[in-house]
Amino acid sequence: MREDQAAPPPADVELIGRRTPQRSTVLGALIGSAEFLSAQALHLRLLAAGEHVGLSTVYRTLTALAEAGRADVVRDPGGERLFRYRPSPQHRHYLLCRVCGTGLPVDSSLVGSWAAGISASSGFADVQHTVELTGTCPDCLREQ
Amino acid sequence: MREDQAAPPPADVELIGRRTPQRSTVLGALIGSAEFLSAQALHLRLLAAGEHVGLSTVYRTLTALAEAGRADVVRDPGGERLFRYRPSPQHRHYLLCRVCGTGLPVDSSLVGSWAAGISASSGFADVQHTVELTGTCPDCLREQ
DNA sequence: GCGCACATGACAACGGTTCTCATGTCGTTT
DNA sequence: AAACGACATGAGAACCGTTGTCATGTGCGC
Ligand SMILES: [Mn+2]
Ligand SMILES: [Mn+2]
Ligand SMILES: [Zn+2]
Ligand SMILES: [Zn+2]
Tell me how far apart the alpha carbons of residues A47 and A60 are, in angstroms, rounded to a whole number: 17
Residue B83 DSSP SS3: strand
Tell me how far apart the alpha carbons of residues A118 and B8 are, in angstroms, rounded to a whole number: 33
Mean local confidence (pLDDT), B101-130 = 86
Q: Does the pLDDT of residue B6 top 60, yes or no?
A: no
Q: What percent of chain B has pLDDT over 70?
A: 92
**B52-90 pLDDT, tens per residue?**
999 999 999 999 999 998 999 988 888 899 999 988 767
Q: How far is the CA of A73 from the centre of ligand 1 (A)?
A: 12
Predicted pLDDT of residue B107 = 82
Angle at A98 between CA B112 and CA A25, to 5 degrees: 120
B101 CA vs C25 C1’ separation (Å) = 36
A1 CA vs C17 C1’ separation (Å) = 42
Could you give all domains of chain A from N- to C-terminal order, each with its CATH number?
A: 1-87 (1.10.10.10), 91-144 (3.30.1490.190)
C-alpha distance from residue A20 to each of A27, A29, A61, A83, B119 (Å): 11, 14, 11, 20, 42
Predicted pLDDT of residue B75 = 87
Q: Does the pLDDT of residue B124 top 50, yes or no?
A: yes
Angle at B98 between CA B69 and CA B144, to 5 degrees: 145
- This prediction has a pTM of 0.79
Whether any strand D atom is under 7 angstroms from the Cβ of B70: the reply reads: no
Interchain CB distance below 8 Å, A127 and B134: yes
Which residue in B has a C-alpha nearest to residue A74's C-alpha?
Answer: B130
Predicted pLDDT of residue B10 = 64
Q: How are the residues of chain A apportioned to helix, strand and coil, as percentages rounded to the nearest 5?
A: 40, 25, 35
Cβ neighbourhood burial of B36 (10 Å; 0-12, 13-18, 19+) = buried
Tell me how far apart the alpha carbons of residues A23 and A43 are, in angstroms, rounded to a whole number: 12
C-alpha distance from residue A96 to each of A24, A34, A114, A139 (Å): 26, 12, 22, 13
Interchain CB distance below 8 Å, B130 and A129: no
A99 CA vs D6 C1’ separation (Å) = 35
Q: Does the pLDDT of residue B137 top 90, yes or no?
A: no
Q: Does the pLDDT of residue B94 top 80, yes or no?
A: yes
Taking each helix axis from N to C terminus, what angle separates B55-67 and B21-32, rounded to the nearest 10 degrees?
70
Tell me how far apart the alpha carbons of residues B10 and B27 are, in angstroms, rounded to a whole number: 7
Which residue in B has a C-alpha nearest to residue A124's C-alpha?
Answer: B137
Whether any strand D atom is under 7 angstroms from the Cβ of A81: the reply reads: yes
Predicted pLDDT of residue B47 = 96
For strand D, give the nucleotides within 7 A of a protein CB.
7-12, 16-21, 26-28
- Residue pLDDT tens, chain A, 144 long: 444 444 444 677 878 899 999 999 999 999 999 889 999 999 999 999 999 999 999 999 999 999 998 999 988 888 899 999 988 767 778 888 877 778 888 888 888 888 889 989 999 988 888 888 888 888 888 875
- Name the closest nucleotide to B19, judged by C1' and CA: C26
Tell me how far apart the alpha carbons of residues B51 and B53 are, in angstroms, rounded to a whole number: 6
**Local structure of residue A69 (DSSP, 8 states):** T
**Start-to-end Cα distance in chain A:** 26
Q: What is the helix (H) or strand (E) element at residue B68, kind and residue range? A: none
How far away is chain A from the Cα of B132, in angstroms, using its nearest Cα?
A: 5
Rg of chain A in Å (alpha carbons)? 17
Total residue count of chain B as it appears in this document: 144
Tell me how far apart the alpha carbons of residues A85 and A69 are, in angstroms, rounded to a whole number: 9
Predicted pLDDT of residue A1 = 46
- Name the closest nucleotide to B54, judged by C1' and CA: D10
